[in-house]
Amino acid sequence: MARLVMKFGGTSVADIDRIRNVARHVKREVAAGHQVAVVVSAMAGTTNQLVEWTRAASRLHDAREYDAVVAAGEQITAGLLAITLQDMGVNARSWLGWQIPIRTDSAHGAARIANIDGSTMIGRMEQGQVAVVAGFQGVAPDNRVSTFGRGGSDTTAVALAAAVGADRCDIYTDVDGVYTTDPRIVAKARRMSRISYEEMLEMASLGAKVLQVRSVEMAMVHGVRTFVRSSFSDPESPDLINAAEPPGTLICDEDEIVEKQVVTGIAYSKDEAQISLRRVADKPGVAAAVFMPLSTANINVDMIVQNISEDGSLTDLTFTVPIADFDRAQAVLEGARDHVGYQAIQGSTDVAKISVIGIGMRSHAGVAAQAFEALATRGINIRAITTSEIKISMLIDASYTELAVRTLHSLYGLDKD
């Protein structure tokens, strides 16, 4: 017998028929003798509708009231799933964030979890009751409902799994695991049976949409073994009932991975914009003068390249920001022009970031050189490069994205069984 937290996203609970299918997945685990808690998202499209209504009511609205509105979607799903489970003969009860409680900070609309008291829920689970928890929400210090931002139900599930001491957190979604790259671009992309927390964190932050970044961070910090699997598989399939390890991808500590590949996956993101400041005076404090105003405006800067002139008096500074912040970043830098002292500012949104990820890169030389050579052979120019122990990211022209992904996926043998 194990203690499980099962999380189901919006597409998995999009209508009553799909909620019934989710209930069958839950009932299977209960029948196997497991203690179960379930975290649910709002039904597909519901949150978008609630956000739209909020903005229609007022473009400049109180963040606390925004949370009061958008948290309703998960509340509806939790109640409907609890009712469906009860109708199937499963002892179930719905829980909202404040009832557990899930305590958060005061950043309404983008709150972070401070702590969870799982004692009452553990007691109910030990008595055989399924806890159906509304994801994406908690209670702020002002005792008002708070929400975690897009994808926040993933974070709820992992945090809850840590709080109740779950053996595993199963994230059910519309895909059957984590792939070596986007299967829509590379037909031979393979589903991985296991991936380390660090690799998944890099993939999630670099464009893979399977899990929210914060949920992976939390899983890594608390050691929550997280299993990505499909909610659209037949709940009564023998492959799920009898298999020691059902189809999916386990995100775990690298010590659990016996065979470590040099490269695990290729990620990409088209949500990038490039900004270049030309002929900046090369002197102490210039970088701070550029990046502090961006930080104050809550604009994340990623790749940074600096080219110093031959005489060392001037430099060109190039970096990337999220494409959604491109116009705002340029406006911030225009406002700081006199202080920074650059002579020209240039920007581009037709760029993409391609990343090679793998824990095996720590002990293997030449991985980056192989990538550079392969892209050069294909006529793909690299605008900027950043690296870490387990990642190489390259900024290229967006028009070459698919070609670059296919080239690198093949280069490292990821399309082979």
Euclidean distance between CA atoms 147 and 109, whole angstroms: 5
Instruction: Find out whether 8 is annotated in a ligand binding site.
Output: yes
Establish whether 10 is an annotated binding residue: yes
Distances (CA, A) of 70 to 75, 152, 339: 10, 12, 41
Q: Is 332 annotated as a binding residue?
A: no
199 annotated as ligand-binding: no
227 is an annotated ligand-binding site residue: no
Domain ranges (residues) in the chain: 3-254, 265-411
374 CB-near residues (< 8 Å, 6+ apart): 407, 408, 411
Give, to the nearest 10 degrees, the angle between helix 367-377 and helix 401-411.
130
Same fold, 3-254 and 265-411: no
Rounded Cα distance between 318 and 303, Å, is: 8
Query: Tens digit of pLDDT per residue, the chain (417 long)?
Result: 799 999 999 999 999 999 999 999 999 999 999 999 999 999 999 999 999 999 999 988 899 999 999 999 999 999 999 999 999 999 999 999 999 999 999 999 989 999 999 999 999 999 999 999 999 999 999 999 999 988 889 999 999 999 999 999 999 988 889 999 998 899 999 999 999 999 999 888 776 677 888 899 999 999 999 999 988 888 877 766 666 678 899 999 988 887 678 899 999 999 899 999 898 887 788 888 889 989 988 898 988 888 776 666 788 889 999 998 999 999 999 988 888 888 889 999 999 999 999 988 887 888 999 999 999 999 999 998 988 889 999 999 999 999 999 999 999 999 876
Q: Is 47 annotated as a binding residue?
A: yes
Query: What pLDDT is recorded for position 234?
Result: 81
Judge whether 174 is annotated as a binding position.
yes
Q: Which residues pair with 40 in a beta bridge?
A: 8, 134
User: Does the domain at residues 3-254 carry the CATH identifier 3.40.50.2000?
Assistant: no
Tell whether 136 is in a known binding site: no
* Nearest alpha carbon to residue 78 among 97, 56, 104, 57: 97
* 353 is an annotated ligand-binding site residue: no
d(CA 259, CA 242): 25
What is the amino acid identity at position 321?
V
Residue 268 annotated in ligand binding: no
Rg over CA atoms, the chain: 23
Q: Is 154 annotated in some ligand binding site?
A: no
Alpha-carbon torsion angle 296, 218, 45, 182, nearest 10: 100
Query: E strands of 140-189, at which residues?
Result: 145-147, 168-173
- Of 3.20.20.70, 1.10.1040.10, 3.30.2130.10, 3.40.50.970, which CATH number belongs to 265-411? 3.30.2130.10
391 marked as part of a ligand binding site: no
